[in-house]
Amino acid sequence: MIPYTLKRSDRARSMRLSVVPGGAVVVTVPRFFGTASLAAVDRFVARSSDWIETQLRKMQGRTVIRIRRGDIPRLKREALVLAEARCAYFASVYGFSHKRITIRAQKTRWGSCSKNGNLSFNYKIAALPIHLQDAIVAHEICHLGAFDHSKRFWDLMGRTIPEHKSVRKELKNLSFVFF
């Protein structure tokens, strides 16, 4: 039997399985899931063993960044200072101008650029190495010149971040653990 952690949640409507960075298996159940139903959880985990093994293999070799929940407000402040400074730099290099910069807690994006020229960045950017921070900021600044991922966009990116392909792979290989 694969070891797992049982988590009860007020928001869960059904049983859910996840493999978190570091390789822990977590089964989330509704808050009032009966203790008599724990055998159903064991069967669920056993039926899902192939999927779990696949996820564990994917986790191998990933870079894990650990963030204390109490550090999130500080990271948000640092991300804003960083984004303002690096956006000013890259905007001057490219000759583009942007409007407002905001920092948000986004689950799936590192940044975004609106048609109006407003830039938004994930606060986790502050926890990254400098070369990844610069790639993310340059990426959003380049959208001011090409609002898509066309050849023109990637040519713009290549002017300041020639290794942008390897940087993208590195970013996709990151996992965050909050404690």
Phi and psi, residue 68, nearest 5°: -75, 135
Nearest-angstrom CA–CA distance, 102 and 80: 7
pLDDT digits (tens, 9 = 90+) for 59-101: 888 898 999 999 999 999 999 999 999 999 999 999 999 999 9
Is a pLDDT exceeding 80 seen at residue 36?
A: no
At residue 96, the 3 state secondary structure works out as coil
Mean pLDDT over each residue of the chain, to the nearest integer: 94
pLDDT of residue 34: 74
> Domains in the chain, ordered, with CATH?
5-60 (no CATH), 67-178 (3.30.2010.10)
Which is nearest to 76 in space by CA: 114, 102, 100?
Answer: 102
The token duo for 4 is 């797992």
Give the single-character DSSP code of 109: -
Nearest to 126 by CA among 161, 87, 74: 74
The pTM of this model reads 0.79
